[in-house]
Structures are given as structure tokens and as C-alpha cells.
Amino acid sequence: MATLADIITAISPNAVHISTSESTAEYTAKYNCGHLNTEYWTLIDALGQIDIRDSFTLAFTAQPSETAFSLSSKDPAKVEVFYQHLKTWNDAFGSLNGSLELRVGKVARKKTLSIYSLAAFADYLCKGSPSEILGKLSNLAETAYYLECSEITVSTHSSLFCFGPKLKTGNYPTNPEPAHKPKHIELRSKACSIHLNSSSDFIPSDFVFDKDVLGERLSNMFARISLLCNLMSIADITKTDPNGGISYTVKGYTTEKLTIAALSSIDTSALKQYYAVYQWAYTDGNIIDKLGICRNLLTIHAIDGNILKLKEGWLESITSNHAIYLKDNLKQYVDLKNKLSEQIQKGSEKASDISKNITTYLRTSIFSLTSFLLSAFLVRTLARPTNTEQAIITPSVYWLFLLIVGISVLILVYALAETNAEKIRYVKSYKAFKSRYTDLLSKEDINFIFNNDKDFARDIRYIRNTRKKSVALWICLLIIMTTVVTIMKLNSL
């Protein structure tokens, strides 16, 4: 496996390693050397391990004179000049007594960054408080997605990073953000209170890799960061303490608190349970209700109040309790739906009563007119002497008839006004009744139960149609009766 250490061994095969460090911006390795390799072209080959997007400086410092010379180019001519300096020094003093230092300045291009030593890079990432480590990962995510490393032969990826071997083509992979990530962050903001100094735009799957090829140090770090994100997505409160640690508060049947001061202190034995619960909670359903159940049962399953150590069966208990919760909600929903349906039926009966009022007025008014005419006819007929002709519709009877017609018209106007007022009151009452349950039922449920107001619209149409028919019939009857009575008076009948 080719590494940057090959550059040093190309100069001095017996060089003694002193230190190696690597960050997102720089790789540094230091060695003590004593014997020179005379085959300088091996250095040219070894320098090919440094990616073309990165710059480097290879410096030799002689001891004890502190004489130094360096190389910063892969140009064979400049490599040969540098090597000749080394050879001259070696020939003069019989050995290459001094130190070699390799510095590589790293630059990300097309979201791709070189990693020359996984172990050194792991040391860099794992150093500091949990809050500082989250900050490093946030900066790394902004810079690169594909982390190119010659120490691994197969790629492994999460939803945030991909570690893979050195690419032979310029087709650098990009980071397609998972479709569920923005939704999960939005749901988390509704149900959890998060106050961190570093970025909180992480979800657990950002640090779950599909293959275990990164070595124990990096794998453990990512597992612990994933657990931090799981806790962040379930706990009521997450915040940074003054020392850079992260504290969590879970309010379940009891209130449990946890402070993580160092990443190395995290027990990941419950990671699989947390990740399974996170996936269940953030998939469909009401996030507030589901996390409420998760928190209640988390405090029950925590061993000795430590929410990092859990009894087995947490998820199973959650799903069972959620099923019971849904059944209870279903019963309440059915009861509420039946209650609403009963009220809707009463509303339809109210609409029917409104329509009946105007028809009642119509029957009463027409009955009054008809009764008056029949009474007048019978009285005039019985009081009239035998074999004499006397008009039934006398002027006095006619004027009384017109008076009753006028009263009937006034009753018609009053009936219309009362019907309109009752209809307006019914509409307002229906809307107020419908809005009364918006805090208990979703908009979709309310529309379903109220049949999208189709029944209400049908009742309103029924009131209008009945009113139109009653008014038309009333006016027609008044016109016909007035016309007949007027003709009878004019003809002295």
C-alpha cells in the first residue's frame, strides 16, 4: 500500500519516524535519517503520491550545523538538484545525519479532499470537546464530500461523507443530500429544543457508514457522533455547557439528565436501539406524540438513570404503547365523529324547520282568506230571502277582503324576513360549530366528517328553493283570489 512514508524511505530507507499529524488543511511528517538511498528516481516515483491539487515542501535539516535545503516541486530536474545536495552532504560527512520534514498543503476541489493518513486524521478529528469535534465535522462537510485516501481500497459512505481510494479519473462524486434530511430537521425543530455552539444540522445517518473500512479510531468516533445526533433528535433539551460538553435533558415519567464532556467517554452499547427508535419516530405520524412515548419509555428503560445504558426491548415497548395510544385515539375519534354527525343531522333538521316556517305562514294566510270568503258566502246565502237576488260580494265584504289580502301581504313580507334571519343564523351557527373542533381534528378530518360542506350547501339550497316556491305560490293564490273576488263584485254576484 503506497503512502507518503514512501517519500521518506526513497531518501533514507532506515529513517526513524518521529511524528505525523494531519488536519483538513495540512499533512506533516517528521523523521530522523542517517543513510542515503543512491537511487534518486525512487523519490520521483514516490512524490506521485501527492495529489496534483495539493502543494508540498520536503525539507532536510542537517545536524548539528542546522544547514537546510528543501524541495517543493515534482519537476525531475529540481528533484535531481535536491538529491545532489543530499548526496554532497552525505559524501562530505559519511552519513545523512539530520531530519526530514514533509509538509503537504491540502486544497479541496470539486468537494474532494486528500487524506494521507487515516490514523493522523482521526487524531485530529477526535481531539477536543464534543462541541469542538462537531464544529470540525461541520467545517469539513462544507469543504468536501469525497475524502480520497490511498490507505483504503473500497469506498464507504454515509449521507454526509464518502471515504474512498484515489480516483483515476476526474469524475469526482458529489454529495446528493438525502431527501428526508430537511424534513427530519424540520420535525426535530418542532419537538426538540437545541442550543449548540456548533452546527446542529446533522442527523444520525450522516455518520452511519455502509462498510467498516475506516479503522477502529475513526469508526468509533463516527459511531459516537451518530449517537450524539440520536440523543439530540429524541431529548427534550440539548445544549452546550461552558466547557464544550453537550448536555441532554429527557422529560419522561422521570426527568433524566446526561452531560457528555468527552467523546471518548461515550458508551455506544445502545446505539442500535437509539438509531432504530430514531428511524421509527421520524417516519410518518405525529412527531410530538411519538417522541412523547419514546421519552416516557426511555426513562423506564434507562439502567440506573443512565440513558446511555438501556435495557433491551425499548423499541418493542414503544411500538406496543403507540398501538394502544392509537386505539385510544381511534375510540375518541369515533366518539367525536359520531357526536359531530349527530350535530350535523340536527343542523339538517334545523334547515327543514326554517323551510316549514314560511309554508306554515302560507297555509295560515290562505286559510284565513278562504275561510273569510266561505263565511261571507254562507252568511249572504242563508240570509238572502227566497227567490230574491242579492249580491254576495257587497262593497263592505269586498273592502274586508282587501284588508285581509293586505294583511296577508304583510305576513308574506314578515315571513320572508324571518326566514332570511333564520337562514343567516343557521349559517353562522354551522361555521362556528365547524371551527370549534379545529384544535382536536386535522383539516382533512374535519372536511371528511363535514363531507366538504356538501350537506350544508344542500340544506341552504333546500331553504332557498322552498322559500321561492312558497312565495310564488302565495303571490299566485292572492292574485287569483283577488281577481275572482273583484270580478264577482263587478258583476254583482
In this structure, is residue 317 part of a structural domain?
no
- Do 345 and 436 have their domain in common? yes
Report if residue 319 sits inside a domain. Answer: no
Sequence-distant contacts of 258-261: CB under 8 A, at least 24 apart: 258/231, 258/306, 258/307, 258/308, 260/130, 260/228, 261/129, 261/130
- Predicted local distance difference test score (pLDDT) of residue 444: 65
Query: Do 266 and 390 have their domain in common?
Result: no
Tell me: do 376 and 268 sit in the same domain. Answer: no
Domain boundary residue, one of 107, 141, 164: 107
173 and 266 together in one domain: yes
Query: How many domains does the structure of the chain reveal?
Result: 3
Task: Tell me the C-alpha distance between 102 and 415, whole Å.
Answer: 101
Q: Are residues 286 and 400 in the same domain?
A: no
Cα–Cα dist 386/188, whole Å: 102
Residues 304 and 432 both lie in one domain: no
CB-based contact 224:268 (threshold 8 Å): yes
> What's the distance, CA 26 to chain centroid?
38
Do residues 350 and 342 lie in contact, with contact meaning Cβ atoms separated by under 8 Å? no
Query: Which residue segment(s) compose the domain that 140 sits in?
Result: 119-312
For residues 470 and 480, what is the distance between their CA atoms, to the nearest angstrom? Answer: 15
Q: Are residues 89 and 218 in the same domain?
A: no
Long-range contacts of 371-376, Cβ-Cβ distance < 8 Å, separation of 24 or more: 372/400, 372/401, 372/404, 373/401, 373/481, 373/485, 376/400, 376/401
Per residue of the chain (493 residues), give pLDDT as tens.
668 889 999 998 889 999 999 999 999 999 998 888 877 788 888 998 899 999 999 999 988 777 788 999 999 999 988 988 888 888 877 778 889 999 999 999 888 999 999 999 999 999 999 999 999 999 999 999 999 998 888 999 998 999 998 877 667 777 767 888 999 999 999 999 999 877 778 999 999 998 998 989 999 999 999 999 999 999 999 999 888 999 999 998 899 999 999 998 899 999 999 999 999 999 888 899 899 989 988 998 899 889 999 988 888 888 877 776 766 665 665 566 667 667 766 766 666 777 677 777 666 777 676 776 666 666 655 555 555 555 666 677 777 777 777 777 777 777 777 777 777 887 887 787 777 766 556 566 677 677 787 877 887 887 788 778 877 877 787 788 778 777 777 776 5
Write out the three cell numbers for 192: 426538540
Residues in the chain: 493
CA angle 354, 355, 358 (to 5 degrees): 95
Nearest CA to 2 out of 168, 152, 157, 154 is that of: 152
Residue identified by cell 306554515 is 360
Whether residues 67 and 99 share a domain: the answer is yes
In a domain, 16, yes or no: yes
Q: Is residue 332 part of a domain?
A: no
55, 140: one domain: no
Are residues 298 and 193 part of one domain? yes
Establish if 323 belongs to a structural domain: no
User: What pTM value is reported for the model?
Assistant: 0.67
pLDDT at 130: 93
Domain assignment present for 324: no
pLDDT for the residue 318: 87
Whether the ω angle into residue 64 lies within 30 degrees of 0, i.e. cis, is: yes
Q: Do 128 and 274 lie in a common domain?
A: yes
- The pLDDT, as a whole number, for residue 447 is 74
Supply 177's cell numbers: 443530500
Let me know if residue 381 belongs to a domain: yes
> Quick check: is 166 in a domain?
yes
Residues 122 and 104: their CA atoms lie apart, in Å, by 17
Contact 102, 8 (CB under 8 A): yes
Residue 380: per-residue pLDDT = 58
Could you tell me the CA-to-CA distances from 371 to 27, 97, 177, 475, 483 in Å, in that order?
Answer: 113, 136, 86, 18, 17
Q: Are residues 123 and 101 in the same domain?
A: no
